[in-house]
C-alpha cells in the first residue's frame, strides 16, 4: 500500500519548490468573460451571474444592509454570538497593535521639512468564501483590520451567506454584504455596478475563479494577494507528537483537494509515526475524501540536518510554517520566508486560522518570498510631503536638482529648479 504522504529526498523536494506554478488558463478565461460582463452590464449582469451560479435566489436583493446584519446577529444562538465577539476582540487587538506600529513622522532638514503619514483607503471590499465551506472567520479576518485602519465603508461579498456569516459581518463592523461570489463578486467590487459602489481594495481568500478575477482587476483596484491552494509545512523531529502533526496536516488537507500538506522530518522515526497516525485519523475524518486527495499533493521529505530543513523552508516559502522540533525558536531564527509562523505544539496553525490574532489571509505558492499577510497595512497608503524654506541649503538643493535635470535632458525640470535657486537658466 502506497504512503499517504509521498516520501522524497531533499534534492527532489528542492526541485519541486523551484518549479513555477502554472497559470490557471481555464479559470482566467472564464473569469475574463464574467468580469467584462459585470463591468459593462452593472447590476443586471451581476444579478444574472448570481442567478446562474446560485449566489442568490430570484426574489433576493443583491445587497444585505446593516440593519439586516444586526438582525442576523440577534437571531444566532447566544453562544455563537459570544464566540464571534470573543474572536473579533482577539483579531482587533492584534490589528490595533499593527496600526500603532505604523507611525507618521516628520523630518527636519537643512532646507526645510519633510515627512510621511498613513492614510486609510475610503472603501474596501472583503471576499468571504461560501462554497464548500462558508467561512465567517474570513469575514472577521478581513473586515476588522479594514475598520481598525479607518476605512470609511467596508463591504463584504459572499455567495449564499447564512446567518452566521451575516452575524460575523455585523460584529466586524461591515456596512453591507453583497450576495455574490466568484469572479462576479470581484468585478462588482472593483468596478461598481450601480447599487454597489466601486471600492479601492479587494481582499480575501477565494477559489480559483476569485484568484483569476483578482489578477484581471489588479491595477484598476488594489488587491491583497493572488492566493492559491492552501499550504502547511511542518518541521518535526523525534521529540514531536505525531498525533498533533497528523491532525494538523489533515486539517490543512481538508481545505481543498488542491491543498499541499508537507512534512520535513529531521528523523525517520517521526515520518513513520506520522504516516501511521494519518491513516488512523483519516479513517474517521468526515472530510476524508477531500483530505485524501490533498495528501497526494504533498510529501514527506527526510532532512539530514536542520540546515537542510531550513534550506528547504526558504525554497518553499510556505503559507503556514509549523516548527515543532526541539529548539523550535532557534530553528525559526534561521528562516524568514513564510506567510505565518507557528512555534511549538501549542502554537498550532488551526488556532491562527480561527482567531488567535494574526491574520489567516496569507501568501501562497511561494509568494511569501516577497509578500506578507493581510493586515491593517493593506488598507493604508503612505503619503509623503515636503515644505522648503528660503536659505542657502534650499539653493544648493535646487541647483543639484537643476543639474540632474540637465543630465537627463529635461529642460523644463531644470528651469523650474533654477527658479527656486533664485536664478534663471
Please report, in range form, the residues annotated as the binding site for Zn(2+).
Answer: 252, 255, 353, 413
Return binding residues.
127, 184, 207, 230, 252, 255, 320, 353, 408, 413
Return binding residues for substrate.
230, 252, 255, 320, 353, 408, 413
Q: What is the 3-state secondary structure (H, E, C) of the chain?
A: CCCCCCEECHHHHHHHHHCCCCCCHHHHHHHHHHHHHHHHHHHHHHHHHHHHHCCCCCCCCCEEEHHHHHHHHHHCCHHHHHHHHHHHHHHHHHHHHHHHHCCCEEEECCCEEEEEEEEECCEEEEECCCCCCCCHHHHHHHHHHHHHHCCCEEEEECCCCCHHHHHHHHHHCCCEEECCCHHHHHHHHHHCCCCCCCCCEEECCCCHHHHHHHHHHECCEEECCCCCCCEEEEEECCCCCHHHHHHHHHHHHCCCCCCEEEEEECCHHHHHHHHHHHHHHHHCCCCHHHHHHHHCCCEEEECCCHHHHHHHHHHHCCCEEEECCCCHHHHHCCCCCCCEEEECCCCCHHHHHCCCCCCCCCCCCCHHHCCCCCCHHHHEEEEEEEEECCCHHHHHHHHHHHHHHHHCCCHHHHHHHHHHCCCCC
Catalytic annotation, residues: 319-320
Distances from the Cα of 392 to the Cα of 102, 111, 132, 206, 389, angstroms: 34, 8, 67, 57, 9
Phi, psi of 71 (to 5 degrees): -65, -40
Return binding residues for NAD(+).
127, 184, 207
Antiparallel, parallel or unpaired: β 112-120 and 153-157: unpaired
Amino acid at each position: 500500500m502506497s504512503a499517504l504522504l509521498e516520501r522524497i529526498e531533499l534534492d527532489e523536494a528542492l526541485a519541486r519548490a523551484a518549479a513555477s506554478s502554472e497559470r490557471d488558463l481555464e479559470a482566467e478565461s472564464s473569469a475574463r468573460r464574467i468580469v467584462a460582463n459585470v463591468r459593462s452590464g452593472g447590476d443586471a449582469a451581476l444579478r444574472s451571474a448570481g442567478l446562474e451560479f446560485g449566489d442568490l435566489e430570484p426574489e433576493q436583493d443583491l445587497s444585505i444592509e446593516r440593519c439586516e446584519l444586526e438582525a442576523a446577529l440577534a437571531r444566532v444562538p447566544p453562544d455563537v454570538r459570544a464566540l464571534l465577539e470573543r474572536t473579533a476582540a482577539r483579531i482587533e487587538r492584534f490589528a490595533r497593535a499593527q496600526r500603532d506600529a505604523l507611525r507618521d513622522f516628520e523630518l527636519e532638514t537643512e532646507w526645510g521639512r519633510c515627512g510621511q503619514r498613513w492614510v486609510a483607503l475610503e472603501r474596501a471590499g472583503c471576499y468571504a468564501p461560501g462554497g464548500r465551506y462558508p467561512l465567517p472567520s474570513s469575514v472577521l479576518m478581513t473586515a476588522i483590520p479594514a475598520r481598525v485602519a479607518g476605512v470609511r465603508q467596508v463591504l463584504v461579498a459572499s455567495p449564499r451567506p447564512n446567518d452566521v456569516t451575516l452575524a460575523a459581518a455585523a460584529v466586524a463592523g461591515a456596512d453591507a454584504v453583497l450576495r455574490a461570489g466568484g469572479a462576479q463578486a470581484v468585478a462588482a467590487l472593483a468596478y461598481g455596478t450601480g447599487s454597489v459602489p466601486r471600492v479601492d481594495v479587494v481582499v480575501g481568500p477565494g477559489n480559483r475563479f476569485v484568484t483569476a478575477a483578482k489578477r484581471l482587476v489588479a491595477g484598476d483596484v488594489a488587491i491583497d494577494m493572488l492566493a492559491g491552494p492552501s499550504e502547511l509545512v511542518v518541521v518535526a523531529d523525534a521529540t514531536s507528537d505525531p498525533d498533533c502533526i497528523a491532525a494538523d496536516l489533515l486539517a490543512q488537507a481538508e481545505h481543498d483537494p488542491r491543498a499541499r500538506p508537507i512534512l520535513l522530518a529531521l528523523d525517520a522515526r517521526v515520518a513513520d509515526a506520522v504516516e501511521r497516525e494519518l491513516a488512523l485519523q483519516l479513517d474517521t475524518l468526515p472530510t476524508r475524501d477531500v483530505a485524501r486527495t490533498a495528501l497526494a499533493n504533498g510529501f514527506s521529505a527526510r532532512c539530514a540536518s536542520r540546515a537542510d530543513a531550513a534550506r528547504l523552508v526558504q525554497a518553499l516559502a510556505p503559507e503556514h510554517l509549523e516548527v515543532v522540533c526541539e529548539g523550535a525558536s532557534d530553528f525559526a531564527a534561521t528562516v524568514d520566508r513564510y506567510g505565518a509562523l507557528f512555534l511549538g505544539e501549542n502554537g498550532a496553525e488551526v488556532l491562527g486560522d480561527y482567531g488567535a490574532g494574526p491574520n489567516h489571509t496569507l501568501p501562497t505558492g511561494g509568494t511569501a518570498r516577497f509578500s506578507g499577510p493581510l493586515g491593517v497595512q493593506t488598507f493604508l497608503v503612505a503619503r509623503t510631503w515636503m515644505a522648503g524654506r528660503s536659505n542657502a541649503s534650499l539653493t544648493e538643493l535646487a541647483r543639484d536638482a537643476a543639474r540632474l535635470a540637465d543630465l537627463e535632458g529635461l529642460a523644463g525640470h531644470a528651469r523650474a529648479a533654477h527658479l527656486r535657486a533664485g536664478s534663471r537658466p
